[in-house]
Copies of this chain bind each other. A is one copy, B any other.
Amino acid sequence: MDANFELTREYIDQIKESIQLQDEAKAVSLMEELHSADIADIYDELNIEEAKFLYLLLESEKAADVLVELEEDDRERFLKALPSEVIAKQFITEMDSDDAADVIGEMSDEQKEEVLSHIDDLEQAGDIVDLLNYDEDSAGGLMAKEYVSVQENWDVEHCINEIRQQAEEVEEIYFVYVVDDDSKLKGIISLKELLLNSSKSKIANFTDTDIISVKTDEEAEEVGNIMDKYDLVAIPVVDSIGRLVGRITIDDVVDVIREEAEKDYQLISGITSDVESSDKVIQLTRARLPWLIIGLAGGIVGASVIGAFEGEINIYPKLAFFIPLIAAMGGNVGIQSSSIIVQGLANNTLGLESTGRKLLKELSVGLMNGIICAALIFGYNFFFDDSIALTTTVSISLFIVIVFASFFGTFIPLILERVKIDPALATGPFITTMNDILGLLLYLMIGKIIFTHYAGII
């Protein structure tokens, strides 16, 4: 396998040429050195017919790996194009149970049943059905059934024999799990210990009984936090009474961590679904339209708010000048506050402060930022603008808007979290637009009061 393979336009052209000429030997030799993840990348650049031609040239094991590595929508098209029996007998049998469950989980109920009925190894079929029962965002949904477990009263030799028997099935082994007669998880042994202890020594002597494990219903995101915090490459999964039922490896968790981060990032940038720049124009448009429409609706409400103060603006047109400033600052402050809370919730770094204290702290931050910004805009307007009424209006309302937005920005994600809604929604378009409008309303109301009552005096 070529380690530092980089996908180039030339390579794709060569592959496409070999497909066009139906030159199987050349296509095979071009792909021979590649890792399945790289082959999956190639497929992104081909149409479905071209991809199918290449796919059927691969050995079963490689083909199964490539199928797992494909993007979800590519895989879906592929699976629709292949008969269930081929999927089951050639590809699913070659997969680890967690990958098999993921692939089958994406199918229609009908295809799912068909594929399952064609799996010859009943134990594997059983494992897959078990895994399909778990929520895909839970530890149960992430775990695989391929692990090596040994009994606590065994010796090293016995363990090694057990590993030898299971070695075919379990590709990567980093740890061996020790269980009692009831399958309850008792401890962990690293392969290093097995290698360094004599074959007759009892494993109980060097079993590590300080186990960090997760329950099947633990949230995937939390599994990621735990493995990250304790620097684990694999974690055992137990059921509600402590029986070992699976293990999760770090590579699956890295994907979870990435996806969670991307989801939050896309939400804050106003994109609704999982799109990439290489997706089609129609997908990209569809992913972006919802926020734009919410923003549009917000803009229309904003226009009505300003419309309600048309009289004031007619008399003091300069009031309109600072509308974008106030609206933008309200939105910005709200997003700043929310995003800190959202990140804290995601990483478990909020600390032990009570909600009351958090709000109080955020209020302090808002007050400080509010005072500084209000002072800056007051200073600017004082020197460069002649209307003290306008200067006062802008400064006071900016201050109030910053404090309000800080408060709401902190409050809303905390409330969402408490009622079990994804707090990251607080950074999304709806709340942001609301903050904009609220800022606008406050500004114009304060302006109306100041101009009506004090314009003559100040």
Please judge, given known A-B contacts A284-B340, A306-B320, A324-B324, whether A7 and B269 are in contact too, CB under 8 Å: no
Q: B251 contacts A254, CB within 8 Å?
A: no
Tell me whether A430 is interfacial, beta carbon within 8 Å: no
Given the complex, which residues of B lie within 8 Å of A107, measured CB to CB? none
Q: Mark A258-279, 1 if CB is under 8 A from B, else 0.
A: 1001101110111100011110
Given the complex, which residues of B lie within 8 Å of A344, measured CB to CB? 276-278
Q: In the assembly, what is the distance between CA of A7 and CA of B352, in Å?
A: 8
- A sample of 22 inter-chain contacts (CB < 8 A) reads A3-B212, A9-B352, A45-B352, A173-B191, A232-B251, A233-B250, A254-B257, A257-B258, A262-B343, A270-B339, A277-B341, A277-B351, A277-B358, A284-B361, A291-B336, A292-B332, A295-B328, A299-B328, A303-B322, A304-B321, A328-B436, A332-B429
Interface residues of A (CB under 8 A from B): 1, 3-4, 7-9, 12, 35, 37, 44-45, 160, 163-164, 167, 172-174, 190-192, 194-196, 210-213, 227-233, 249-251, 253-255, 257-258, 261-262, 264-266, 268-271, 275-278, 281-282, 284-285, 288-289, 291-293, 295-296, 298-300, 302-304, 306-307, 310, 313-314, 317-318, 320-329, 331-333, 335-336, 338-341, 343-344, 347, 349-353, 358, 361, 364-365, 368-369, 372-373, 376-377, 380, 402, 427, 429, 433, 436, 440
11 extra A-B contacts, CB within 8 A, seeds A37-B229, A195-B195: A9-B352, A167-B196, A173-B191, A266-B343, A271-B339, A278-B344, A293-B376, A306-B320, A323-B323, A324-B436, A324-B440
